[in-house]
A and B are shown apart, each in its own frame.
Chain A
Amino acid sequence: MGLRIVVLTKHVPNIHSNRTFVDGRVARGAADGSLNELDEHPLEEAVRLLERMSDEERAGSEIVALTMGPAEASDALRRAYQLGADVGVHVLDDALAGSDYLGTAAVLAAAVRRVAQDGPVDLVLAGMAALDGLGSVVPALVAAELGWPQLTNAGALAVADGAARVERDVDGVTEVLEADLPVVVSVNDHINRPRFPNFKLIMAARTKEITTWSLAELDVDTSKVGAAGARTQVLSAEPRPERPPVELHVDNGEGGVALADFLASRGLV
């Protein structure tokens, strides 16, 4: 029967780099951009789901990595290829710049519907958050746009007999949730340990084709997308002032007292 899985991926500034805003938007240059680290987990989970199947079961299975963003975002898809994606789809359109969570989700859902024209999609997998905005709401919104069940922030996922079951540990609560396929699942970074890509995949990823769709090729309400469609507007984005240099105290037997004195000086004791 196989599984067709769409993995949502995002190109974000590397968290080890100096991240900035330009005109109220996250600056995403090619140089220090990368696949959102948390998106490695849904890719790994997709590969594992297929690996657990027999060859016959696996027939017709496919992992489609989907991204939306400017030209550099294709780098995220190259990385997704290294991690085991079969197909990379890039929604690329100048009109998308400045989209809010809702606009982004509407476009991603339209792209999933477009992928489904070539064969039913069983699962949409996503990371629990993108390490730039940290909104963590896009998977839930994509589920709502598609009218599919949402199983988010999963720490464990099982797919069997046409249903998905997740276990999650969120906000001090442990839950088990279940729904029939197709579903949208977001996974956290405890679900698996992504493997290091093998040499063969790294080489193949360089030359693999990427499918590019513009907004015109998707069935989406364009009034929702881009800065014009956004329901919120960034009025300003400013770097915070640097902290004054650290007051460094080397412990010679009274470090704890020095710490308490410092806290008292700040009115914290």
Chain B
Amino acid sequence: MTSTSTALVLVDSLAEPLRDADLELVTIARDLGVVAVVSFDAPAPATLDQLGAYGVARVVELAVDGEPHLTGVAAQALTHVTDGARVLLARATFAHKEVLARLALLSGAGLVIDAAQVREGDGGSVVGAKRVFAGTWDLVCEVRTPLALLTVRPNSVRPSEASDPTTPSVEKVDVPAEEASAAAGGVRLVSRTVHEIDAEAGPALAEAAYVVAGGRGTGGDFAPVRELADALGAAVGSTRDCVDEGWIEHDTQIGQTGVTISPRLYIGAGISGAPHHRGGMQASEVIVAVNSDPECPIFEICDFAVVGDLATVLPQAAAAIRERRG
């Protein structure tokens, strides 16, 4: 490890304590350099304490006089912190992929999208491993430039606190209005609405360690799916069919064009396993399916499958799990 080089972690917000998915990035970054966390808002005191426990040395607030939600603006702002950095990690969201891509263009950096593992390669390079083709192939990519930009899939490591806690320094970098406006490149943000996260509905799907998903076989009744998800502390997912039928909101759609997930446990109920859905979940560690059709294709990629009616199997499983957990 080049102990003097900087490992940057981009997070959406420092106003609230960081979530596991961000702490995973910090955990990875500690092996790659001195960790600096970058965001577009100021850190809350509780967040600073948490970052210290995770060994973060620096916190940088990019104070943009403009609209940091625009891809071009965010990418331009980040050029203020990449000098001398060895790596920048961000969660694998659609927005981050684009921001890092444009930052790659501005900074001459190499880019790896959606790494499942990040490590140091020979000669101090940064290497990212990816799962592609619906999790059926492993690809290892080495970044050949001095600065490496990677989006990283959730659940690629378990977050762990540092053995040496730190007291992070805090700095603010101003990005002036003219610069932000030029970087917007003519894009105007007319409106922006953040979907409310229902805390009772469990963790966010994209980064959840456990996911229970329902498909056409639910017939539109997601109650058994939610019940099992609740017992496991899992996020609820769905298929394209269910979203098109209006049974459940778009944010729950798992698949190549929806959310791509890689949890420790995926349970699919009433899901046949069409290629588009499989492309979004096949990288899951343990795969379980419940379906009344013994011939359904998802059974081919499962570790464990129950042939049966999800309306009875899921509530029974939920009750058994609650009993075990006491």
Chain A residues with CB under 8 Å of chain B are 15-16, 19-21, 24, 38, 100-102, 128-129, 131-137, 140-141, 143-145, 147-153, 165, 169-180, 183, 188-190, 230-240, 243-244, 246-251, 254-264, 266, 268-269
A140-B71, A175-B192 known; A233 vs B141 contact (CB < 8 Å)? yes
Say yes or no: B189 contacts A177, CB within 8 Å: yes
Q: Would A179 and B109 be within 8 Å (CB), given that A15-B276, A240-B131, A251-B313 are in contact?
A: no
> Which residues of A are found within 8 Å of B189, using beta-carbon distances?
175-177
Given contacts A236-B140, A237-B138, contact A15 B111 (CB under 8 A): no
Q: Are A137 and B111 in contact (CB under 8 A)?
A: yes
What are 13 A-to-B residue pairs whose CB atoms are below 8 Å? A151-B187, A152-B98, A176-B192, A234-B139, A240-B135, A243-B301, A250-B306, A256-B312, A256-B314, A256-B315, A261-B320, A266-B265, A269-B232
Chain B positions 266-292 with a Cβ under 8 Å from a chain A Cβ:
267, 275-276, 279, 286-288, 290
Closest CB-CB distance, A123 to chain B, in whole Å?
A: 14
Residue from B94, B250, B267, B316 in contact with A136 in the complex, judged by beta carbons closer than 8 Å: B94
B202 contacts the other chain (Cβ, under 8 Å)?
Answer: no
A34 CB → nearest B CB, Å: 13
Are A232 and B144 touching (Cβ within 8 A)?
yes
7 closest Cβ pairs, A-B complex: A256-B316, A251-B308, A231-B110, A260-B320, A137-B101, A256-B317, A176-B190
Chain B residues with CB under 8 A of A169: 250-251
Which B residues are in CB contact (< 8 Å) with A188?
A: 257
Q: Is the CB of B256 within 8 A of A148?
A: no
Residues in chain B near residue A153, CB distance under 8 A: 94
Q: Mark B95-118, 1 if CB is under 8 A from A, else 0.
A: 101101110110011111110000
**B72–A171 touching, CB < 8 Å:** no
Q: Which residues of chain A are within 8 angstroms of B197 by Cβ–Cβ distance?
A: 172
A172→B195 contact, CB < 8 A: yes
B136 in contact with A239 (CB, 8 Å): yes
- Closest chain B residue to A257, Cβ basis: B320
CB neighbours of B206 from chain A (8 A): 171
CB distance from A31 to the nearest CB of B (A): 17
Instruction: Give bound CA distance, A174 to B140, whole Å.
Output: 34
Q: A134-B114, A175-B191, A269-B321 are in contact. Are A234 and B141 (CB under 8 A)?
A: yes
A132 vs B136: C-alpha distance in the bound complex, in angstroms?
Answer: 12
The answer on a CB contact under 8 Å between B190 and A165 is yes
- Which residues does chain A contribute within 8 Å of B121, judged by CB atoms? 235
A239 CA / B134 CA spacing, docked (Å): 11
Which residue of the partner chain A has the closest CB to B185?
A149
A15-B279, A173-B195, A236-B139 known; A256+B110 contact, CB < 8 A = no
Q: Does B325 contact A (CB under 8 A)?
A: yes
Contact present for A102 and B142 (CB under 8 Å): no
Are A240 and B138 interface neighbours, CB within 8 A? yes
CA–CA, A137 and B279, complex, Å = 18
Contact B192 A173 (CB under 8 A): yes
A190, B256: Cα distance in complex, Å: 13
A141 contact from B105, B109, B127, B318, Cβ within 8 A = B105
Contact for A179 among B69, B144, B186, CB less than 8 A: B186
**B307 contacts partner chain A, Cβ-Cβ < 8 Å:** yes
- The residue among B110, B197, B315 with the most chain A CB atoms within 10 A of its own CB is B110
- CB–CB B195/A174 < 8 A: yes
A148 contacts which chain B residues (CB < 8 A)? 185-186
Tell me which residues across on chain B come within 8 A of A230, comparing CB atoms.
144
Across the interface, do A237 and B137 meet the contact criterion of CB distance under 8 Å?
Answer: yes
**A147–B105 CA distance with the chains assembled, in angstroms:** 12
Which residues of B sit under 8 angstroms from A131, Cβ to Cβ?
256, 279
Judge whether B136 and A259 touch: CB under 8 Å: no
Nearest-CB residue, chain B, relative to A256: B316
B265 and A268 form a contact (CB under 8 A) = yes
| Seed contacts A131-B256, A150-B72, A173-B194; 13 additional CB < 8 Å A-B pairs | A134-B279, A137-B113, A140-B98, A140-B102, A169-B251, A172-B194, A175-B193, A178-B190, A247-B303, A249-B305, A256-B319, A259-B290, A259-B317
Partner among A132, A140, A151, A233 whose Cβ is within 8 Å of the Cβ of B142: A233
